Homo-oligomer: A and B are copies of this chain.
């Protein structure tokens, strides 16, 4: 059930100013499907926005617990799927054991620099990659709908 997609701006840093619009997008998407905007869903989205980057379901659960609004695992997973289906977040896989997610809008891009020493992950936007991607697809008579690039890095002197 793909809900209402939203245009993905990819230069803006996630800031408080996007909380309101994103909430609104979510409410609208829910309403259009006859679904309800519950406090749990609102809290989950707020918490995700506050992450300002990549997160795991587990971290989200912990963060909610710390805030005093503990939400059940089931609801968190259900809401993640919902947010994904309306393109507010997207799943990112680079680790078999855990699904990672990031905000679609306000995320800095779909290229990940994964430091294989420290485990740190940085997201960034690479406009050239979109050109390259589209060129590859065009050459095959296909149309690119999205992409994910993961670069595994280590300190330069390693």
Q: Give residues in A with beta carbon < 8 Å to B.
A: 91, 93-96, 99, 111, 113, 115-116, 124, 126, 128-129, 132-133, 136-138, 140-156, 158
Whether the pair A154, B142 counts as a contact (CB closer than 8 A) is yes
Give the shortest distance, in Å, between A152 (CB) and chain B (any CB): 4
Whether the pair A154, B149 counts as a contact (CB closer than 8 A) is no
Query: Which residues of B have CB within 8 Å of A143?
Result: 153-156, 158
Per assembly, the copies of the chain total 2
Whether the pair B145, A154 counts as a contact (CB closer than 8 A) is yes
Alpha-carbon distance A154/B116, docked complex (angstroms): 32
Alpha-carbon distance A158/B145, docked complex (angstroms): 10
Query: Which residues of B have CB within 8 Å of A141?
Result: 155-156
Give the shortest distance, in Å, between A158 (CB) and chain B (any CB): 6
